[in-house]
Structure 1
Amino acid sequence: MKISSLLSKLIVILLIIVVSTSCTTKKDVVYFQNAQEFESIVDTNTFNAKLKTGDILNIFISTLDLSVTKPYNLVESTNNSQGGEGAALDYLIDADGNIDYPVLGKVKLAGLTIEEAKEVMKKKFEDGKLLKNPVVIIRIKNYKISVLGEVNKPGVYPIDGERVTILEALASAGDLSITGRRDNILVIRDFSGAKTYTRIDLTNKEVFSSPVYFLTQNDVVYVEPNTKGISAGSGDARIGLVASLLGLAITIGLLIQN
């Protein structure tokens, strides 16, 4: 009777240990926990990505007379025997923040937004009396975000457009795994060789006003694991752990009886 009672107590103790160390609470995984029902959050973020050293730009110049813009819209040479034109040339922002553009020469664009860069290019054409009322189109060709750590699909993700939020980047990576820590996500940002490290809490609605809510090109998002280890894993893992411990308890009880 004493042995049976001891075995029962051992099983209860093991179950308490498993439950207390393995359950991920709602507070650990729910996003925007302090957002109130019907609450409105006004978006005052006027973020615009700024051009950086190492950016690769696609630039197209247009006017009413396209023939006069041909010297500014160079294309790659091609060996196509049918005479087709190659792809448009891309322009790299060098270590000094400049691109080397046909006729214009060195043009400093690093640190400018896309719209500011367009205005700089347009002014150079007009001041040099090269073109009248040119339309300048600029796109960043190597805009990408890296998402690492406790997400379902870590990797490097190319971005279409000029703005992407941290929520969109995480969604592209299949969202956080159950073991990912949601309240301390790290965003690593590089600008002209200087790295900044900013942490963001997805469980708080203040995420929408964070300076890294909108990501810039080549940002790295890192999701660290929580400190509960296997306990925060899937239900199957927890069931397996419980079964193993119960089996151990029963074995110990049988050994004691013998």
Structure 2
Amino acid sequence: MFAFVSCVNTKKATYFSDQKNGSFAAPTIPKLVIQPNDLLSISVSSLNAEASAVFNQANNSGVNNNNTSTTTTTATGFLVDGAGNIQYPFLGQVPVSGLTKEELKDKLTKALVDKKLLVDPILTVRFLNFKVTVLGEVAHPTVVTVPSERISLLEAIGLAGDLTIYAQRDNVLVIRDENGQKVTQRLNLNSTELFSSPYFYLKSNDVVYVEPNKSKVASTGRSQVWLPILFSALSLGVIVVDRLTR
């Protein structure tokens, strides 16, 4: 009876079971928008290396190591405060929340040129805190850091060691921050409709939760009920055998 109850439908355990030979439109890659508490790396270069170095100090700070006399370099970047601003050298408080990396680059470049702080500066903006969290029925629940600033749901699951056999592949939950609110979306990995979902590519701070299926819940519940009974029976058997052999 337990064997029949714990059977898993193979179609539900297969990715994209409805996919046939053919092609489909590529998923849309979401725009990365700067939000409060983001950590940004903003590097500047120009013909005047000395003048450019002043603007790069916030990207690298020396941190003393208590165990040695050496100084190591740790990436710190520019932290976006709760109001959506950063403190930038010579420009002071700069509003950045809601901008893309390209928009921020153009904004800072124009400000540096208009104030005649640099001539023909080249700026590069990157996110230092782009990460996603994968929890639930995966081999290795983990927080994935994404230096490339681009990761799909399938890549995140792969980096977490893939789904276990007990995972609900047709009901994967993605939790996302949108405009100060938590937005949830459930996705079906058995269907190719996943590739047209705006949640196929993950955003920074997304949380992926994979629920266990009924077989896992049922088997866990049965083991909690039967294991104590089994151990009690074995203990009683050992006591009876010990008494009979004396």
Structure 2: state its 5+ residue gaps: 224-229, 231-246
Query: Which residue pairs with 2:16 in the alignment?
Result: 32
Specify which of 6, 25, 49 is matched with residue 66 of structure 1. Answer: 49
Identity %: 39
Query: Which residue pairs with 2:61 in the alignment?
Result: 76
Task: Work out the CA distance in 1 between the residues paired with 2:215 and 2:63.
Answer: 58
Matching of residues 95-134 of structure 1 within 5 Å? 95-134=82-121
- 1:35 shift after superposition: 1.5
Instruction: Determine helix, strand or coil for the equivalent of 2:214.
Output: coil
One-letter amino acid matched to 1:229 = K
Q: Who wins on radius of gyration, i.e. which is larger?
A: 1
CA offset digits 1:5-53 (Å, max 9, x no partner) = xxxxxxxxxxxx334322111121111122111x112215142322221
Task: Work out the CA distance in 2 between the residues paired with 1:211 and 1:232.
Answer: 35
Task: Work out the CA distance in 1 between the residues paired with 2:135 and 2:119.
Answer: 47
Instruction: Determine helix, strand or coil for the equivalent of 2:53.
Output: helix
Task: Work out the CA distance in 2 between the residues paired with 1:110 and 1:191.
Answer: 13
Query: Which residue pairs with 1:6 in the alignment?
Result: none
**2:176 equivalent to 1:189:** yes
Task: Work out the CA distance in 2 between the residues paired with 1:82 and 1:152.
Answer: 41
One-letter amino acid matched to 1:152 = A
Q: How many pairs align?
A: 219
Task: Work out the CA distance in 2 between the residues paired with 1:220 and 1:44.
Answer: 19
Matching of residues 217-228 of structure 1 within 5 Å? 217-228=204-215
Query: Which residue pairs with 1:48 in the alignment?
Result: 31
- 1:232 shift after superposition: 7.9
Instruction: Determine helix, strand or coil for the equivalent of 1:223.
Output: strand
Task: Work out the CA distance in 2 between the residues paired with 1:166 and 1:119.
Answer: 31
Query: Which residue pairs with 1:229 in the alignment?
Result: 216
Structure 1: state its 5+ residue gaps: 1-16, 238-243, 245-258
Task: Work out the CA distance in 1 between the residues paired with 2:162 and 2:194.
Answer: 16
Alpha carbons 2:62, 2:71 under 8 Å: kept: no
CA offset digits 1:74-94 (Å, max 9, x no partner) = 142566999979556511011
Alpha carbons 1:53, 1:192 under 8 Å: kept: no
One-letter amino acid matched to 2:5 = T
Task: Work out the CA distance in 1 between the residues paired with 2:94 and 2:29.
Answer: 26
**2:140 equivalent to 1:156:** no
Higher fraction of helix: 1
- 1:183 shift after superposition: 0.7
Alpha carbons 1:179, 1:232 under 8 Å: kept: no
- 1:96 shift after superposition: 0.9
Alpha carbons 1:48, 1:162 under 8 Å: kept: no
Task: Work out the CA distance in 2 between the residues paired with 1:196 and 1:183.
Answer: 19
When normalised by structure 2's length, the TM-score is 0.79
Alpha carbons 2:27, 2:198 under 8 Å: kept: no
Higher fraction of strand: 2
- 1:223 shift after superposition: 0.4
Query: Which residue pairs with 2:134 in the alignment?
Result: 147
Instruction: Determine helix, strand or coil for the equivalent of 2:11.
Output: helix
- Please provide the CA RMSD for this pair: 2.8
